Structure 1
Amino acid sequence: MQSLVYRSVVEQEDDVVVSRRRKLSDLADAGIFLSLAPRVDWLLPPLKRTRVSAPFIPLAWENLNRCPSLDSLKDECLVEILSRLDGDKERSVAACVSKRWLWLLANRVDRASPKKPLLDLNVEAGPGDKEDQITVRCVEGDEATDLKLFAMAVGSKGGIGKLSIRSGGAAVSDLGLAAVARHSPNLRALSLWNADNVTDKGLSQIANRCPLLEKLDLFGCPSISDKGISAVAMKCCRLSSLAIESCPAVGDDCLWAVGHFCANLASVSIVDSAMVGDKGVASLLSFPSSSLRRLVLRRLAITDLSAAVVGRYGKTVAELILADLPNVSERGLWTMGCAGGLRRLESLTLAGSWATDLALEAVARGCPSLKRLSLRSADRLTDHGLRRLAGWSPSLESLQLEDCALVALISLGESLRSLSVVRCRGFRDVASSAKLRSSCPLISLTINDCPGFGDAGLVLLGKLCKRVQRLKLVSLPGISDAGLLSFFEDCRETVSLLKKVNLSGCASVTDAAIRALAELHGRSLRVLSLGDCKRITDDGLAAISESCVRLEDVDLSGCAVSDAGVAALATSAAGRDSLGVVSLSGCGGVSGRSLLHLGNLCPRLRGLNLQFCLSVTDQDVASFQNGTGRCDVLF
């Protein structure tokens, strides 16, 4: 170092004074200059009392410690850099840098296809190494945004396999869908709910970049039309399931493309699409390569012509749902049954007044493989139609009647295993069994909210259906102990005993019927529901505790039980070994003492309902949860 001249700083009356060519003896006073470069010489001319307010720093030194930033690069340069990232982990880390990098990775950088290394046969493949592993993602509500889709598309290892978007409006657009398409070439299933801003452009991106798409669900997408769905049909030849609901811009043209290009199509559901007519349904089914197995047509403007086309060309259809079709009449349903093309139909659901006796008989004749039949709002259906149905459907196993003008249950098929009658206001008891078959292999019986059904009908069903294992009698004021005692006694004669019993809303049922149920079927009963049976007391609960040794779920909501009955239940064999769910909602006689018994004696208890139990306090529930943290309490 050459001669380095230091300046001495002298404080004099709060002023800084620089002396003439005088070296500083104290290095601490000269600390502000020690950070200068070692080869810099300073020579200050003689000055006379100069005030110094800050140390002198050359302007060139301000940029010595400044690091260059990639943000100063243009998008084209940054895309070139980001495209060279090899691996999902590196892309995910880069996407976390800023929103700009995330946007570029999602929209400007294609997911590379790295070369797969040779497999080491000496190493066993782990669960993460399987090629058939599919990434499933679902975004709902406020989380359904384009930015969220960017992050999911870039961060998912190998891309997204199944994606469900339940948006609340305009938060998701074509940009987000394009990012998913760009980074998920192996996308198999896509569901869009209420995506107002997703148009044909975004769906076309999926079609162009996701050729393996197999399932497409569109619900409430007003901006998607025939053009977008046609693009998917032409580019995604593996499409096997298509669901369209509340898409007003979708019409007949896309159904022609789906029927023509999608040879593997197995399920189609079209609901509430006003522009879909007979032409679209005919185009969908009339192609020789059609392999459709499931068809749903609801709330459409189709006519009898579509029903006839379904009956003629639905040769591979196994499940058919026709509901809320105002322009379809009895004639259309009769033609569908007589066309002879539904020989493989196994499940049929009809909702509408056009399901009459004549039409139903034609359907039963034309569908010999029919196993499950569901009728809703069939106001013109009578006993004669049911009798003809039972005669022409030898393989019928399940029958559901809802909101039908059913007069009486007069015929049950020889193979019927499940019967459900819901809200049939005209349902009445049958006094004679002369017209009925001798037996029926019924396993599940449900009668719900049928005011005309009483003890006489229940006694008759008990004599005919002695193999019932699941009994559901809900909101039947005409049911009393007499009918239940006869039914329980008849079901006891066979090896199969009752396993699930639901008597909710049967206000006339008392402890006597429950005691008979426990004595006759206690060893097989697993689930018992007695909600709003206000005449059930501790005596009935004591009978349940003594005999029902395998009880797993019991509902006593609204019953007149108290702590004594709950204590008996908790100390029973079922309480110690199998009891898992107990509902005591609205039981005014239940207090904190019941929680002590349940907590100490029921080790398998995992669910407890204590709503509207006024005698139970917050402290009781807190103590119970502290003692049994495994049980979920609804209070």
Structure 2
Amino acid sequence: MKGADLINTVLPEEVLLDILSRVESKPDLDSCALVCRKWNRIDRSTRRTVKIAAYGAADQLLARVIGRFTGLTSVIIDELVPLSSYFPPGLATPSKHRRNTLSGSRRRNRNSPGSSSSSVEENGTEQHSLSDAGLSFLGVGCKRLEHLSLTWCPSLTSLGLVSIAENCRALKSLDLQGCYIGDVGLIAIGQNCKLLQELNLKFCEGISDKGLTDLARNSNSLTSLAISSCPRITDMSLQAVASHCHHLAALTLELDSIKDESVISIAKSCRSLKSLKLQCVNVGDLALQVVGSFCASLEVLALYSFQGFTDGSLYAISKGCKNLRQLVLTDCNLLTDRSLEYIARGCTKLEYIEINGCQNIESTGLESIGRFCSGLLKLSLVYCSMLLKSAFIEVGSGCSLLQSLHLFDCPKFDDDAMCQIAVGCRNLRQVHLRRCYEIGDKGMISVGKNCKYLTDLALQFCESVSDESLFAIAEGCSLQHLSVSGCHKITNNGLAAIARSSPDLISLDISVLENIGDIAMAELAEGCPKLKEISLSQCTKVTDVGLTHLVKGCMGLETCSMVYCPLITASGLATVVSSCSKIKKVLIEEWKVSERTRRRAGSVLTSLCSEL
């Protein structure tokens, strides 16, 4: 009955609580919290996760969040998060602390653990980062905390982390990426947080062997460890990890200081290792051969910039790691086709393979993948100039389950190969091609006819592709993401066909298209109301009138790039920022920003200097 509150009067509070706990979408949960005071109170007591920015009045904001939401178990604090994002209902963004530049533009003293939490931007205004005081608020107020992420919070020291360790003893996951935390804080975590399972120490330059060794001795439950760019970490502390953390399942190491011995110790001690990602210039064949012998459960192997191992390493992996599902090889110049042949024959459960810049890998290895790895779901090949058409045809014939194809700078990939893949891999959902100059309309027409599940298409600088390709795609597929940057033959007609067939389009990149104009903007406005991201850079025929059409239909726009568009003026920019209430980022030349627009939306503007 109109005007009656039947839900709150009829449903018991425990039932309503159970209903709200099943709402998974954060925007929907925020909306529920604003319905009435009762729902807001329930939300405050049941909210478990919050994500906030680490700059501005971070300490005060964190104190308000803790005071309002008493049941938090997961807190994500990230300096790179916009202040306007992830705010719980009722906590307004303090506009005077918003920033116009990226965090990297600040001048900080990151080398001093006792440095002030304030920093100075290039324009002289004072900014504040999350400090130890804020972290102490969190420790005292959220004693049931299980997951804590502190990403790029440069003002934090061991003092704040000690408070977390002493108060949050149920902590299971800790991400300290980019924080200058010292050994004292890490030791405290090891002594107090006995349930710790996941630890990220990437770019934690203050950590040394002492801190990691002591933590390893006390953290027998550790299952995931990531260490990157920590110059004071050596083989000694990693061998301590091997001695005490026998349940380790995921390890990421990006360290120049370690040698074979560390990886060998971990491989022999941590038999349940499932994920191993290495970028270590001093690690070679011997270490990977031991991994192949002892880590039978390995499912993910990623090797970056390796110059010290050969085909023999992957031969050992293929013999011992039969459950391997993901393989990433980047800049491994000593590997040849034999490596992929070994993997294809020995690891037939392979689902994802990425090869980037391995110049000695030619066609035979990829042909073997096509023959023996019928369960392949994703294939990514970058800077593989030696691959011939025959390799792709073999993939098309044998990998019928393939869902994602990424080919960047593969000059031998042509229309015939694309047709073979389209016919054989009808489950394709994502196709990304960049600078594949032999791809034209024939191949893309075949994709449109055969790959009905395709939702994500990128054809960057594939200069032979024209409107005919988009007509075929529009007829057979409904896209959510499209990038045709640099495809000069595409006009308003092709883009209009996509707009009419893809009502769920979310992101669009049509930069460097000289034949796209206002007609296309009007078509997008009418056909793509869900559009959130658009790049119009160097679209020389798009005008302010086109932007007016666009924002009338795409009011949910969040990101817009429109540099080097000579017919877009300050008036067009003002139209975008005033019409799109959810806009978060606009890229445009600085001289087109009026003072009024800067006052109104300075926090979302990213400008290029007029000299560029």
In the alignment, the residues of structure 2 paired with residue 172 and residue 617 of structure 1 have an alpha-carbon distance, to the nearest angstrom, of: 36
> In the TM superposition, what are the counterparts of 1:542-561 in structure 2 within 5 Å?
542-548=522-528, 550-559=530-539, 560-561=541-542
How many Å apart are 1:399 and its aligned residue? 0.9
Greater helix percent: which structure? Answer: 2
> 1:183 and 1:423, CA in 2 relative to 1: closer, same or farther beyond 3 A?
same
Q: Shift in Å at residue 454 of structure 1? A: 4.2
1:343 to 2:318 alignment: no
Encode CA deviations 1:575-617: one digit per residue, 9 max, x unaligned.
Answer: 4x655554433322223554676678x5666357361286x56
Which of the numbers 536, 541, 545 marks the counterpart of 2:516? 536
> Does residue 491 of structure 1 match 2:467?
no
Quick check: 2:306–2:333 contact (8 Å CA) kept in 1?
A: no
Map 1:124-273; keep pairs closer than 5 Å: 130=71, 133=73, 141=108, 145-146=113-114, 151=133, 155=137, 156-157=139-140, 161=145, 162=148, 164=150, 181=165, 185-190=169-174, 198-199=182-183, 203-220=186-203, 224-273=207-256
Q: Equivalents in 2 of 1:134, 1:566: separation in Å? A: 41
Residues 133-167 of structure 1, C-alpha deviations (whole Å, 9 max, x = no match): 35666799558744877645654316775374857
- Aligned-residue Cα RMSD (Å) equals 3.9
Structure 2 residue 276 is the aligned partner of structure 1 residue 291: no
Provide the C-alpha distance between the structure 2 equivalents of 1:227 and 1:255, rounded to a whole number of angstroms: 11
Partner of 2:583: 606
Q: 1:335 to 1:315 in 2, by over 3 A?
A: closer
Distance change (3 Å), C-alpha of 1:229 and 1:622: closer
Tell whether 2:365 aligns with 1:379. Answer: no
Q: 1:357 to 1:158 in 2, by over 3 A?
A: same
User: Match for 2:336: what amino acid?
Assistant: T
Which amino acid in the other structure matches residue 491 of structure 1? I
Q: What is residue 120 of structure 2 aligned with on the other side?
A: none
- Report the equivalent of 2:597: 621
* Matching residue of 1:78: none
2:424 maps to 1:439:
yes
Task: Note the alpha carbon deviations across 1:380-434, whole angstroms, 9 max, x for none.
Answer: 222332222112111111111112223334333211101111233x334245789
Which runs of no fewer than 5 residues in structure 1 stay unpaired? 1-125
Any gaps of 5 or more consecutive residues in structure 2?
A: 1-66, 80-102, 118-130, 608-612
Verify the 8 A CA contact 2:151 2:175 in the aligned structure 1. yes
Tell me what 2:494 maps to: 513
The separation in 1 between residues aligned to 2:205 and 2:419, in whole angstroms, is 57
- Distance, in Å, in 1 between the alignment partners of 2:159 and 2:556 is 53
The letter for the 1-side match of 2:414 is D
Q: Which amino acid aligns with 2:73?
A: Q
Q: Decide whether aligned partners of structure 1 residues 588 and 194 sit closer, same or farther in structure 2, where only a CA change above 3 A counts.
A: closer
Q: Distance in 2 between matches of 1:468 and 1:368?
A: 26
Q: 1:456 to 1:383 in 2, by over 3 A?
A: farther
After TM superposition, list the pairs within 5 Å mapping 1:280-359 onto structure 2: 280-287=262-269, 290-337=271-318, 339=319, 341-351=320-330, 352-359=332-339
Residue 311 to residue 564, structure 1, CA distance change in 2 (3 Å): same
Q: Offset at 1:253?
A: 4.2
* Cα drift, residue 510 of structure 1: 2.5
Q: Distance in 2 between matches of 1:514 and 1:401?
A: 28
CA contact (8 A) 2:132 2:157 kept: no
Cα distance between partner residues in 2 of 1:208 and 1:596: 56
Partner SS state of residue 334, structure 1:
helix
Counterpart in the other structure of 2:400: 414
Match of 2:8 in 1: none
1: CA distance, partners of 2:326 / 2:265: 23
CA deviation string 1:102-149 (max 9, x = no partner): xxxxxxxxxxxxxxxxxxxxxxxx98564x735666799558744877
Alpha-carbon deviation of 1:460? 5.1
> Is the Cα contact below 8 Å between 1:166 and 1:194 reproduced in 2?
yes
Match of 2:565 among 564, 587, 600: 587
Q: Tell me the secondary structure at the aligned position of residue 313 of structure 2.
A: helix
Q: Letter of the 1:618 partner, please give it.
A: S
Secondary structure, in 3 states, of the residue corresponding to 1:479? coil
Q: Which has the higher contact order (CA 8 A, sep 6+)?
A: 2
Letter in 1 for 2:182: V
Equivalent residue letter for 2:473? C
Rounded Cα–Cα distance in structure 1 between residues aligned with 2:543 and 2:177 = 48
Residues 297 and 548 (structure 1 numbering): CA distance in 2 closer, same or farther, change over 3 Å?
closer
Mapped to 1, the partners of 2:222 and 2:492 lie a distance apart of: 57
* SS of 1:285 mapped into structure 2: helix
Does residue 479 of structure 1 match 2:464? yes
Q: Which amino acid aligns with 1:443?
A: R
Distance in 1, Cα, partners of 2:77 & 2:519: 52
Letter in 1 for 2:257: A
Q: How far off its partner does 1:267 sit? A: 1.6
In 2, distance between residues paired with 1:359 and 1:333?
6
Classify 1:165/1:518 alpha carbon distance in 2 versus 1 (closer, same or farther; 3 Å): closer
Compared CA separation, residues 632 and 250, structure 1 to 2 (3 A):
closer
Q: Cα offset for 1:307?
A: 1.9
Percent sequence identity over aligned pairs? 25
Contact 1:591 1:613 in 2 (8 A): no
Using a 3 Å threshold, how does the CA distance of structure 1 residues 613 and 427 change in structure 2: closer, same or farther? farther
> 1:367 Cα deviation (Å)?
1.9
**Residue 44 of structure 1 corresponds to which residue in structure 2?**
none
Q: Structure 1 pair 127/264, CA: closer, same or farther in 2 (3 Å)? A: farther
Rounded Cα–Cα distance in structure 1 between residues aligned with 2:114 and 2:173: 19
Whether 2:484 is the aligned partner of 1:503: answer yes
| In 1, Cα distance between equivalents of 2:446 and 2:305 | 34
Q: In structure 1, what is the equivalent of residue 7 of structure 2? A: none
Using a 3 Å threshold, how does the CA distance of structure 1 residues 439 and 191 change in structure 2: closer, same or farther?
closer
What amino acid sits opposite 1:469 in the alignment? T
Residues 418 and 444 in structure 2, CA contact (< 8 A), matched pair in contact too: no
**Greater Cα radius of gyration, structure 1 or 2:** 1
Are the aligned partners of 2:419 and 2:443 in contact in 1 as well (CA < 8 Å)? Answer: no
1:16-74 deviation digits (Å, cap 9, x = unpaired): xxxxxxxxxxxxxxxxxxxxxxxxxxxxxxxxxxxxxxxxxxxxxxxxxxxxxxxxxxx
Asked whether the equivalents of residues 420 and 447 of structure 1 are also in contact (C-alpha less than 8 Å), the reply is yes
Give the drift of 1:448: 1.8
Calculate the TM-score normalised by the size of structure 2: 0.68
Could you tell me whether the CA contact under 8 Å between 1:500 and 1:526 is conserved in 2? yes
Q: The residue matched to 1:238 in structure 2 has which SS?
A: coil
